[in-house]
């Protein structure tokens, strides 16, 4: 019997609601495999700031340090509520970035996937979706603008100023590009390199390193695309993409657009992989506008569990079963409210009902 410790950081807003649905999935997997999951909840995010005085308390660090993998819910508050927390301790700055730095989870996989049969969830026309969207965004997660030096002050003219630097060294770029090329090799052997080398020096270095790395993967066709053009083409022709690789901030923004073309951020799970440790989280935020209403889509969280099963525990078959179970709930005509309007010929279900139906399918 294998035994794994999993840190559960439910987070803020809709986090605890969708975490409950993820827990149901672990129970099913456990019931039919020689595996035991020790699920260890720990405070993280704004709730942890209010209860423990810090958004990433020491006790949570200790739980995560010992865990074989971490499942994290979204964190953060609404714009107004955020003001109750000092800027440096607000959830992203005080907890999320430190989590990523602590475990050096530099490779963020964000699948953007919608089978043809579910084209009605998307705001795009069916002819644009064609045979379905199935692409993988790979975002560098521990470098760039989010981790560079920051400075604020008053300048010589007496004006408030801010300076934030976008920093990468060639090694940071090389390691994420290797990850991306390897994924391209496993898939269609097409890699879209997303950059902004017409303006940013960081992209010039990125592209230089890419030329060097590409030599090791002669079978992969590299297609270069400026990030602004990529944003347009994601809407106009998303099916041309298979694997896309990009630096941290480009990935943050473009992957939310990925959720947009699918129809909801609720369809966006992710894996954040380091060499030693990985954590898994929905790509979206804490959705304060719908928190506590039992209407959030737990697909993103359950999909993150599937990614954990595959990447951290080598349970590829069970991971596939989880994806298939979710797809067959949709195929039966069910939908959470983010994906469909009332009266749109769907059977509307809540967060917990979606989780229960996935469990039902998975158990069959």
Shortest Å distance, C-beta 222 to ligand NAD:
29
Footprint (CB under 6 A) of ligand NAD, residues 208-227: none
Catalytic residue among 228, 275, 314, 332: 228
228 belongs to the catalytic site: yes
Shortest Å distance, C-beta 215 to ligand NAD:
35
Residue 148 CA, distance from chain mean position:
21
Footprint (CB under 6 A) of ligand NAD, residues 312-341: 338
Which of 10, 179, 220, 296 touches ligand NAD (CB under 6 A)?
Answer: 296
Nearer to ligand NAD, 248 or 264 (CB): 264
Whether residue 58 contacts residue 25, with contact meaning beta carbons closer than 8 Å, is answered with: no
Beta strand segments in the chain, E: 2-9, 35-41, 69-72, 107-115, 132-140, 150-154, 160-164, 190-195, 221-226, 243-246, 271-273, 278-280, 334-335, 347-348
For 97, counting Cβ atoms within 10 Å of its Cβ (0-12 exposed, 13-18 middle, 19+ buried), the class is middle
Q: Site mask, ligand NAD, residues 72-111, x = CB under 6 A?
A: --xxxx--------------x---x---------------
Residue 303 tokens, joined: 């999909």
Q: Site mask, ligand NAD, residues 273-292, x = CB under 6 A?
A: --------x--xxxxxxx--
Residue 150 tokens, joined: 């920051």
Which of 29, 67, 114, 265 touches ligand NAD (CB under 6 A)?
Answer: 265
Which of 47, 108, 297, 321 touches ligand NAD (CB under 6 A)?
Answer: 297
Give 89-98 contacts, CB < 8 A, sequence gap 24+.
89/49, 89/54, 89/55, 90/46, 90/55, 91/12, 91/45, 91/46, 91/49, 91/55, 94/49, 94/54, 94/55, 94/56, 95/44, 95/45, 95/48, 95/55, 95/56, 97/146, 97/147, 98/56
Nearer to ligand NAD, 195 or 284 (CB): 284
Which of 60, 183, 248, 300 touches ligand NAD (CB under 6 A)?
Answer: 300
Shortest Å distance, C-beta 281 to ligand NAD:
6
Catalytic residue among 134, 256, 352, 356: 256
Shortest Å distance, C-beta 2 to ligand NAD:
29
Whether residue 168 contacts residue 206, with contact meaning beta carbons closer than 8 Å, is answered with: yes
Shortest Å distance, C-beta 320 to ligand NAD:
22
Shortest Å distance, C-beta 362 to ligand NAD:
19
12 belongs to the catalytic site: no
Q: Which residues are catalytic?
A: 146, 196, 228, 252, 256
Chain residues that interact with ligand NAD, rule: CB under 6 A = 14, 74-77, 92, 96, 264-266, 281, 284-290, 296-297, 300, 338
């Amino acid at each position: 019997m294998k035994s794994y410790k999993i840190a559960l950081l439910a987070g803020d807003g809709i986090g605890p609601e969708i975490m409950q649905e993820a827990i149901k999935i672990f129970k099913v997997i456990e019931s039919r495999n020689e595996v035991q999951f020790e699920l260890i909840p720990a405070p993280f995010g704004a709730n942890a700031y209010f209860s423990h005085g810090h958004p990433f308390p020491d006790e949570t660090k200790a739980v995560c340090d010992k865990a074989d993998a971490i499942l994290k819910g979204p964190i953060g508050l609404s714009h107004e509520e955020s003001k109750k927390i000092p800027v440096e301790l607000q959830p992203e700055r005080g907890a999320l970035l430190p989590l990523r730095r602590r475990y050096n989870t530099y490779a963020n996989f964000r699948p953007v996937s919608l089978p043809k049969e579910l084209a009605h969830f998307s705001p795009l026309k069916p002819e644009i979706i064609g045979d379905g969207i199935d692409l993988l965004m790979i975002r560098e997660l521990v470098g760039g603008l989010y981790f560079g030096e920051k400075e604020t002050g008053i300048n010589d003219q007496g004006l408030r100023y801010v300076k934030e630097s976008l920093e990468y060294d060639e090694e940071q770029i090389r390691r994420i590009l290797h990850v991306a090329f390897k994924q391209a090799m496993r898939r269609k052997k097409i890699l879209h390199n997303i950059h902004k080398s017409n303006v940013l020096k960081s992209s010039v270095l990125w592209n230089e390193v890419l030329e060097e790395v590409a030599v090791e993967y002669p079978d992969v066709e590299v297609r270069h695309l400026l990030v602004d053009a990529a944003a347009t083409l994601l809407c106009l022709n998303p099916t041309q993409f298979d694997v896309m690789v990009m630096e941290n901030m480009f990935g943050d923004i473009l992957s939310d657009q990925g959720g947009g073309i699918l129809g909801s951020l609720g369809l966006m799970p992710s894996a954040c992989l380091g060499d030693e440790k990985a954590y898994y989280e929905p790509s979206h935020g804490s959705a304060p506008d719908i928190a506590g209403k039992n209407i959030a889509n737990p697909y993103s969280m359950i999909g993150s569990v599937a990614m954990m099963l595959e990447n951290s525990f080598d349970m590829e078959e069970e991971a596939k079963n989880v994806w298939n179970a979710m797809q067959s709930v949709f195929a039966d005509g069910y939908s959470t409210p983010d994906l469909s309007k009332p009266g749109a010929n769907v059977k509307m279900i809540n967060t917990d009902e979606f989780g229960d139906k996935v469990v039902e399918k998975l158990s069959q």
